[in-house]
Amino acid sequence: MARRGGGQTYGFPIYCASWLPLAHIFLRPPSSEDDAPVDADADAPKSSDSPAPPPMAALGGGGGEGRSGVPNALVVAALDPAGEALDPEPVLRMGTEEQVPYRMAVHPRGDGVLCAFPNGCRLFRWESLEGERLHNLSLRADHEALTELSDVGLQLAVSFSGEGSILATGGEDGHLRVFKWPSMDSVLEEPDSKTSVKDLNFSPDEHFLAVNRSSGPCRVWDLKSSEAVANLPREAGEIFGFCRFSNQTDSSQILFVTAMQGDYGKIISWNTTSWTRIGSNKITREAISAFAVSPDGTLIAIGTIEGSILVLSSKNMRVLVTVKKAHLGIITTLAFSQDSRILLSTSFDSTARVTSIGSPKSRGISIWSMILVVLLAILAYYCMQHREDLLSRLLH
């Protein structure tokens, strides 16, 4: 597997990707009733015999149907020891025959990987055969699960809620489905044959679900009442794209929505109590093709159809990191690591790239460093302009 321009290639166009909740995958409940129970809420896998495994990501994609020679596959790759790229040798690779996984939702408590294929969804369960050694991690298809989604066509948006108790899918045919997990009891359903579902996202408290369609407003659903509580309107010329909830430092929540308006890609923010628009910022002249908000709520990332990445402060929309032409093709997925310090990006160009963002503390230090540099520059300029007066004062 060759490394290209800071990214790792895996031999197929990558449509979907996600970091894995390793603490829950490696600490699955034991198969024997005589085995000791495990702590499923541990922060990291524990073992006296082996170190904790490095962060890992699941990648899905392929060449689709036909005889292109490009395989359809799911791949799991680990972060290299330096934390600068994914390892070229996958931890596991699983072919998906003639079906390409277009979308992916990894269950946050380790129940498996849900993949959206052209004809419906399938669930793949984790198997860790003998503890935490990487080469023992595997996936198996669960043919008994997801019968409700086995023949529903392509789902353009799939997501588990933060605690994994709810599953939502939105179809190319416009059908929105929301289920309790793992019972698959229906929470709400909205057929709409006129508009495809483009994106959806749960609020961190699992109270709301935001849904963007190919046209119209962003609709927000109350998951307790199964009723729509808000239709967030577009301004003239706006076309909504992605939607993401985020926690704020004051424990409130905010909803970010991307939009294209003419030649500009925008990020719009909404109050989640009054559902009023509280901010709108033009960010880029390139069309936005991927969007992510960091788990700690401090960062926003966008990817473009030109292959560029921008990372911004969620507080003031100031650009912190820019990677021009990070990929040779459209960026398909962006995903922050759980500690918000690493950004994973994937593309049609078959690459998965890792971009280091740094800790919130180090980001704060860099801001103050910039302020100090500016102040020193001002002081130096003042000294140059008044050097004769300063010298005379020193001499007398």
Please give the DSSP secondary-structure letter assigned to residue 250. T
Phi-psi region of 134 (alpha: psi -120 to 50; beta: other; left: phi over 0): alpha
Of 86, 36, 21, 93, nearest in space to 60 by CA: 93
CA distances from 260 to 213, 238, 284, 335 (A): 14, 6, 10, 21
Q: What is the reported pLDDT for 49?
A: 58
Element (H, E) at 259: strand 253-261
User: Any residues with CB less than 8 A from the CB of 284 and at least 6 apart, and which?
Assistant: 264, 265, 302, 304, 308, 310
Q: What is the reported pLDDT for 129?
A: 52
Please give the DSSP secondary-structure letter assigned to residue 144. T
- The one-letter amino acid at 269: S
Give the total residue count for the chain.
Answer: 396
- Please measure the distance between the N-terminal and C-terminal CA atoms of the chain and give it in whole angstroms: 72
Are 321 and 366 within 8 A, CB to CB? Answer: no
Backbone φ, ψ for residue 53 (5° rounding): -70, 155
Are 245 and 231 within 8 A, CB to CB? Answer: no
Three-class DSSP category at 189: strand
> Could you give the count of Cα atoms lying within 13 Å of 226 in the half-sphere of its Cβ?
13
Kindly tell me the burial class for residue 143, based on how many C-beta atoms sit within 10 Å of its own C-beta (0-12, 13-18, 19 or more).
exposed
- Calpha distance 286→263 (Å, rounded): 7
Are 98 and 116 within 8 A, CB to CB? Answer: no
Rounded to 10°, the helix 387-395/360-385 angle is 80
Per-residue pLDDT of the chain (396 residues; tens, 9 = 90+): 544 446 899 999 999 999 999 989 876 554 444 444 444 444 444 444 567 789 999 999 999 876 678 999 999 999 998 888 999 999 999 999 999 999 999 999 999 999 999 999 999 999 865 555 565 788 999 999 999 999 999 999 999 999 999 999 999 999 999 999 999 999 999 999 899 999 999 999 999 999 999 999 999 999 999 999 999 999 999 999 999 999 987 788 999 999 999 999 999 999 999 999 999 999 999 999 999 999 999 999 999 999 999 999 999 999 999 999 999 999 999 999 999 999 999 999 999 999 998 754 444 434 444 454 445 455 555 555 555 564 454 344
Q: What is the reported pLDDT for 7?
A: 85
β-sheet bridge partners, residue 18: 58
Q: What is the reported pLDDT for 34?
A: 41
Give just the sign of the alpha carbon dihedral 121, 122, 123, 127.
negative
Are 315 and 348 within 8 A, CB to CB? Answer: no
- Calpha distance 273→265 (Å, rounded): 26
Of 257, 202, 255, 206, nearest in space to 234 by CA: 257
Q: What is the reported pLDDT for 29?
A: 53
Please give the DSSP secondary-structure letter assigned to residue 174. S
> pTM of the prediction?
0.84
Are 44 and 56 within 8 A, CB to CB? Answer: no
